[in-house]
Amino acid sequence: MDIITQINTEKKPKHVAIIMDGNGRWAKQKGMLRVFGHRNGVKAVKQTVEAASEIGIEVLTLYAFSTENWNRPKTEVKALMKILVSSLKDELETFQQNNIRLQTIGQTQNLPKKAQKELLEVIELTKNNTSMVLNLALSYGSREEIVNTIKNISKKVVNKQLSIEEIDENIINNHLYTFTLPDVDFLIRTSGEKRISNFLLWQIAYAELYFTDVLWPDFRKEDFFKAILDYQCRERRFGKISEQIQNNND
């Protein structure tokens, strides 16, 4: 039986986030430079975007480049930026054919001008697409996002646009980079590492976590569908007990 036919489309997560890990180790296993792994990781991105679109995922967020990644060797960072630009050009037709809208979160103003230009062009060309949001986290760090959120809220309090008593979860949500998106339902990390790495710390408060030993360049549609099936076997309680969840579903 084809694995996709086993997925219950009525019980799929709305927002899936992925920490794409393992490119460097994949390349090292093959006696190649890390950049070789990043280039082959593009195939996994394409497969994952197509898989998510096929089963009707509303939002797919990919951790493409963290604020900490700027500390990597300059040659690797430069290569990553080139791969980003070329990938966006190559995938624009796929985005249009599959009605996918591209958006980004993070300090994208720190990216090279060429990368910024390509991003803005693809974002503009896909802005009216409605099937799925592909959200790229670029020059992104969750702690930086939260600090930025606190600063912006504080300015409003100082300027008497907002009172301290008004600050609640909704106010905070509305000042995050992801203010237009639902919270993350399902977080996937590849390569066997079991940590969050400063990714969407607020947004994953009640997300289901899934860790796979598959290195990112080897990640394919079947791996994504396998993860979704694992998600569908879980009971999401949000602090309640099983009986309450069952009663609400009856």
Residue 197 is assigned to a ligand binding site: yes
Q: Which residues pair with 19 in a beta bridge?
A: 63, 189
Does 34 show up as a binding residue in the annotation?
yes
Report whether 191 belongs to an annotated binding site: no
Angle at the Cα of 56 (from 55 to 61), degrees rounded to 5?
105
On whether 250 is known to bind a ligand per the annotation, the reply is no
| 221 Cβ neighbours under 8 A, 6+ residues apart | 4, 47, 48, 50, 51, 54
213 assigned to a ligand binding site:
no
Nearest to 201 by CA among 137, 110, 111, 154: 137
The answer to whether the annotation marks 195 as part of a ligand binding site is: yes
- Pick the catalytic residue from 2, 8, 21, 173: 21
Phi, psi of 136 (to 5 degrees): -95, 125
69 is catalytic: yes
Query: 21 catalytic, yes or no?
Result: yes
26 is in an annotated binding site: yes
Burial class (CB in 10 A: 0-12, 13-18, 19+), 133: buried
The answer to the question of whether 56 is labelled as a binding residue is no
**Is there a binding annotation on residue 68?**
yes
How many residues are given for the chain? 250
Is 193 assigned to a binding site?
Answer: no
The answer for residues whose C-beta is within 8 angstroms of residue 120's C-beta and 6 or more apart is: none
Q: Is 38 annotated as a binding residue?
A: yes
Q: Please check if 141 is assigned to a binding site.
A: no
**Is 37 annotated for ligand binding?**
no
Q: Which residues of 3-13 are buried (b: 16+ CB within 10 A; e: fewer)?
A: ebeebeeeebb
**Catalytic, out of 69, 98, 129, 198:** 69
Buried b (16+ CB within 10 A) or exposed e, 88-122: beebbeebeebebbbbbbbbbeebeeebbebbeeb
Three-class DSSP category at 84: helix
Binding site listing:
21-26, 34, 38, 66-68, 70, 72, 189, 195-197, 208
Binding site listing for substrate:
22-26, 34, 38, 66-68, 70, 72, 189, 195-197
Binding site listing for Mg(2+):
21, 208
Catalytic residues: 21, 69
